[in-house]
Each structure stands twice: as structure tokens, then as C-alpha cells.
Amino acid sequence: MEILDIILNILSTPAILVGLVALIGLILQKKPIEEIVKGTVKTIVGFLVLTAGASFLQTGSLNDFGTLFNYAFGVQGVVPNNEAIVSLGLEKFAVETALIMCVGMIANIIIARFSRLNYIFLSGHVTLYMACMLAVLLNVGGLTGISLIIAGGLLLGLIMVLSPAICMPTMKKVMKTDTIALGHFGGVGYWFAGQIGRLVKGKKEQIKSTEDIKFPQRISFLRDTTVAIGLTMVIFFLIVTAVAMAKGGMNDATIAAMFTSGDTKTHWIVGALIRGLNFAGGVFIILSGVRLIIGEVVPAFKGIAEKLVPNAKPALDCPIIFPSAPNAVLIGFLVSFLGGIIGLFLLGVMNGIGISIVLILPGVIPHFFCGATAGVFANAEGGLKGCVIGSFLHGLLITFLPAICMPVMGSLNFANSTFSDADFSVAGILLGNLAQFVQGNILLIIAIVLFLIPIIYHYIAPKKQKS
């Protein structure tokens, strides 16, 4: 019974489960004992650091910003943030999330091995986030225990090949090779931006790439993630705090407590400055954990995959494409963020004419990572013109998709949070609404059928002959 209790505790600790993935992968590759120990420990520590960063972000800057915004403008505003909502989901579905993630990684290998979607998704952190969302959504549909884990794992494995697949045509143009895929769950948004770039481009000889222009050196610091996030969130905090104070915010007990520590009062400008930089600090902690996880899990899992899946294409996180078009990265971030601001205004107008919809604030994290990636994709298809228009419309897309997804998240008692990246919103909208009408084992059957479709297609459909 004591041994069983230890096993159950291991299964209930997601950090250890993810560490086991690295451990098994390193052992199967016959790595030296010192590398096995190092890789396993660093993976577990990375997961714990990620969780700590998400907790710091959620309980600190995000909550304070929401409180200040609601008081200042009298509306419910939400900053989409994957880490924040996952930290909430893990409180109840930690075991299911970890097991779905493990089953999903195995399902990913099976689809890649026995279908034409031979992508191995190696971005561990967003895999975790998607696993958490699937655990919550399928639970609403009445699935629990083994059925929940199997259905969630199969769907996760399917999503892990579909997202890179829709991005691959443009990814080839970005990377100038078909040996590397994009593994980040903003795939729908990147595909969308690429298609916009393709639509708006003129004649081929007239296309001007973003890399044909030069930015002033003095704003190149915005390419640093921590600096860009810190400055942007400081500006946001200063604006909403100033409006809140002008409305008498210090008379509100909750807001007054934000700027009071014992008998010491902090000036609201200083408080806003610190909270904006705290947000950047939380993201930095999260990214540090991500780097630890990716640095150990990816090589271990990639080694397993390469042995099992011939001609496998590793699907890597979105920063892998940033060096290919650094100007497009900066333009994509800024223009996508502008799209987010315009989207917020449009949502406000919709509320004003009687259409009840939550206000989605432009989050720095999605507009940097996803907006920058969308900018690179749109530039590859349509040059500078495509980059600007594609990134702007991408900013609108990742504003309206979370707003549409919000009722689903709200019904799951996550009314103050939602996912930011496009694939999460699309999957959330589809599965969340499906779970309202389809219950129990029917959901499991649907998951199995969807999982088998690309495998069956591979064996019954004729292959295209290479010219």
C-alpha cells in the first residue's frame, strides 16, 4: 500500500511526470548516467519554475490590472494569458493534464508514423497548456478517469500534427527548407496572416520585403522580450491607474490596499511602475522554466521520435523563425498590438449597441510572440505590405477569437481568464460547444474517429507522384 501511495503521488505531480518523459527518453538513447540525472532534474525544476512564474503572474500583476481596469472604466476587461488560465486549470486537473500530455505525445508519434502528417511537436509548454484545456473541456462533456485521458490524449496528438501541417507551406518559404516545422499553437493565426499576405501582394517583381528596410537603432531594444513587455505593461498600468485615481480609487478598499503596506503608502505612479515591471518579471520566470524544459525534454523526446518515425519533421517553438526576418518580427508585434487596440474599441462599440461581449485587452505576450510570428509569415507571402495588413488583421483575430471563446471559459468558472493563441480559441470554441450537446462515451468515440482519419486516409488514398 505504501508503494501504491508513492506511485499515486508521482502520478499526481505533473512536474515529476514530465521529468519521467525525459528520464525514459534518455535511458532509451543509452545516455551516460550523469546526463540522465542532469536532464531529469533540470526538466522537473523547469516545470516547477514555469508553475511558479504563472502563479506569480496570476496572483500579482494580472489580478491587480483587472481590478484597476474594472474600477477605472466600469467594464470587465480580460487580458488573455495562457499561463494564467492554465494555473487555474491545474488546481483541479493537474493529474489529468499530465497524463493527457503524456498520452498525447505518444499519439503524436503514432499519427506521424502511420500517416502523412509526419510532424513531431516538440514545444512542451504549449503542449501542456493544450492538455489542460482539453482536460477541462472534456470533463464538462462528462468524461472522467481513463476515458478522459484517452480522449484528451488522442485529440491532443491530432492537434499536434494539424497545427504544423497548416503552417508548413509558408514555413518552407520562411526557413528555405522543408525539414523544420512550426510547433506553436497559434497555427490558425499564422496561416491566416500568411493567406492575407498572399492576397494583398502585387506582382512578384514589385514585392518589397520587410528586410529591405532599416529600423532606427534606437528602437531596436523592442526586440528584447523582457524590455518590450515591461515598457508596454508599465504604460498600461500608468494609464489605468491614473484613471482609477482620478475617479477616487484610493477610497476603494481593494485598490487602496494595493498601494499600502502596513503604515507605508506607495505613490500610485511608483506602484504602477513596479506592477508593470513585475509582469515582465513573471514572464521572464516562465520563459526561464520553458527554456529548462525545452532544453532537456526536446532532445530526449526527439531521440525517441527519430527512432520510431522515419523522415520525421521536428515542430519547434515560434522563436525558431525570428532570425529569418527580424524586421518582420518587430513590425508584426507593433502592428498586431495596434490591431488588438482597435479590436478592443470595436468590442466596446458592440457593447454600446447592445451586443453583450467581453472586452479583450491587447495582451503583450500573445501580440509579441504570435504577432511577430504572423508578421514573418505574412512577409514571406506578401512582403512589407502583406506583413502590415496580415499582422493587423491577426491582431483583430486574436482579439475576437478569445472574446467568442470567453462564454465557454466562463461556463467552466474561468470567467476572468481565457486562452490567447488562435489554436486554443478555435479548439475551445469547437470542443466547448460540442461538449454542451454531446456527453460521455460519444465524445470518446468522436475523439477516436478523428484520431484515425489521417491514418486511414494514408492507406486508402493514392499518393501524389513526385515530378
For the chain, 467 residues long, give each residue's pLDDT as a single digit of tens.
677 666 656 655 667 777 877 787 788 788 899 988 988 888 888 878 877 876 776 677 767 876 787 788 766 667 777 777 777 777 778 788 888 988 998 899 899 999 999 898 877 778 888 998 899 888 888 888 899 999 999 999 999 999 999 999 999 999 888 888 898 999 999 999 999 999 987 665 567 777 777 656 676 666 666 777 788 778 888 988 898 888 887 888 778 888 887 777 888 898 889 888 887 887 788 777 767 776 777 677 666 666 777 777 888 888 788 878 878 887 898 899 899 989 988 998 998 888 878 788 887 778 888 998 999 999 999 888 999 999 999 999 999 998 888 877 665 555 566 788 899 999 988 988 888 788 888 999 999 999 999 999 998 887 765 54
Domain regions of the chain by residue span: 2-460
Predicted TM-score of the model (pTM): 0.75
Phi and psi, residue 181, nearest 5°:
-110, 170
What tens digit of pLDDT does each residue of 254-299 get?
788 888 877 778 888 988 898 888 878 877 887 777 677 767 776 7
SS (H, E, C) the chain: CHHHHHHHHHHCCHHHHHHHHHHHHHHHCCCCHHHHHHHHHHHHHHHHHHHHHHHHHHHHHHHHHHHHHHHHHCCCEECCCHHHHHHHHHHHHHHHHHHHHHHHHHHHHHHHHHCCCCEEECCHHHHHHHHHHHHHHHHHCCCCHHHHHHHHHHHHHHHHHHHHHHHHHHHHHHHCCCCCEECCCCHHHHHHHHHHHHHHCCCHHHCCCHHHCCCCHHHHHHHCHHHHHHHHHHHHHHHHHHHHHHCCHHHCHHHHHHCEECCEECCHHHHHHHHHHHHHHHHHHHHHHHHHHHHHHHHHHHHHHHHHCCCCEEEECHHHHHHHCHHHHHHHHHHHHHHHHHHHHHHHHHHHCCCCCCEECCCHHHHHHHHHHHHHHHHHHHHHHHHHHHHHHHHHHHHHHHHHHHHHHHHCCCCCCCCCCHHHHHHHHHHHHHHHHCCCHHHHHHHHHHHHHHHHHHHHCCCCCCC
